[in-house]
Chains A and B, each alone.
Chain A
């Protein structure tokens, strides 16, 4: 049999099973209406859940972007210091960050798609629920058992089909959210293992540590050189004083000589 016909029959069978459980057709209407309201709440919660997941992916994407920039910066610094091995390591990590980033981007698009679809489904269900409420009251007001049964069955099957459809959409969105959470967890673990820099704990990674060490040691060399320079210049002036002193000893003589000369003239 046709796939499309089979699917529609399965949906109808579900509705009929629920209908058969009711004794009074009017009871069916109220019962169904309660379920519709519950389904509306569920689909709205679904939209909110997907939106939360999407925002979390967005945050992780920002974090990964920052890390990527940092790795590139590290590679540049390492290369400037003549450490090609370290630069290579930094670029390798940047590469794996980008792989994660690409996967997150795909996931982000999927979540956006789910959010959009669920939002539309919620709007459509809301319209149907409103229409159902009106029809329910009309049927109840003009109730004759024989006529009502047909009209109720029709309304019930119609709304039940919509609810099954929305139910499937919610399930699908939940699956996507679960997938997202698994990935988010993996990235969090990656952050915690120190493969990425953890901004929260402020711990630095090994490449950064090596760069810091190189920086520190070159700072130390600079400071040492400066101190040596100071020491040398501090040691030299006394020499000048000494030589000045030697001249100074001679000076009085010269001065005395010139004084004598002055006195003489």
Chain B
């Protein structure tokens, strides 16, 4: 599976890493819904570390990602904007 970290690039994740990512992603979603910034940052940092441990996708590979993680240090508001769709620049 390919996961992108916004602002950093893409990584290949193996099955065991994917299994660990699931719960973190769920925590991320719950924190966004609750508006809990502390829990959100903790889940984001955990997910970032896990994804970064994967194998970087070579720069010349052009493939869409299965999952996309917000950038490191992204605020709750920023992620809400991202999920509201108009936060993304059309290119």
B7 x A3 contact (CB < 8 A) = no
Give the chain A neighbours of B4 by CB distance below 8 A: 8, 161, 165
Nearest neighbor of B22 in chain A, beta-carbon distance? A2
Rounded to whole angstroms, the CA-CA distance of A85 and B61 in the bound complex is 68
| Interface residue tally for chain A (C-beta within 8 Å) | 46
A39 x B65 contact (CB < 8 A) = no
Give the chain B neighbours of A6 by CB distance below 8 A: 83
Residues on A lying within 8 angstroms of B by beta carbon are 1-8, 10-15, 17-18, 35, 39, 117, 121, 123-124, 127-128, 130-132, 135, 154-155, 157-172
B59 in the interface, Cβ–Cβ < 8 Å? yes
Looking at chain A's contact residues, is the secondary structure mostly helix, strand, loop, or mixed?
Answer: helix
A3 x B63 contact (CB < 8 A) = no
Rounded to whole angstroms, the CA-CA distance of A1 and B60 in the bound complex is 31
Rounded to whole angstroms, the CA-CA distance of A2 and B79 in the bound complex is 13
B6 x A3 contact (CB < 8 A) = no
Nearest neighbor of B73 in chain A, beta-carbon distance? A113
Rounded to whole angstroms, the CA-CA distance of A167 and B89 in the bound complex is 6
Rounded to whole angstroms, the CA-CA distance of A131 and B63 in the bound complex is 11
Please name 14 pairs of A and B residues whose Cβ atoms are closer than 8 Å in the assembled complex, sorted by A.
A2-B25, A4-B47, A5-B25, A7-B67, A7-B69, A128-B60, A128-B62, A130-B60, A158-B64, A161-B68, A163-B91, A164-B89, A164-B90, A168-B7
B88 in the interface, Cβ–Cβ < 8 Å? yes
Q: A127-B58, A169-B7 given. 17 additional CB < 8 A pairs?
A: A2-B22, A2-B29, A3-B32, A4-B3, A6-B83, A12-B64, A18-B90, A121-B7, A124-B59, A131-B60, A135-B62, A158-B61, A164-B89, A165-B7, A168-B6, A168-B89, A171-B89
Give the chain A neighbours of B55 by CB distance below 8 A: none
**Which of B21-37 touch A at CB < 8 Å?**
21-22, 25-26, 28-29, 32
Known A124-B59, A154-B63; contact A3-B88, beta-carbon cutoff 8 A: no
Nearest neighbor of B32 in chain A, beta-carbon distance? A3
A7 x B64 contact (CB < 8 A) = no
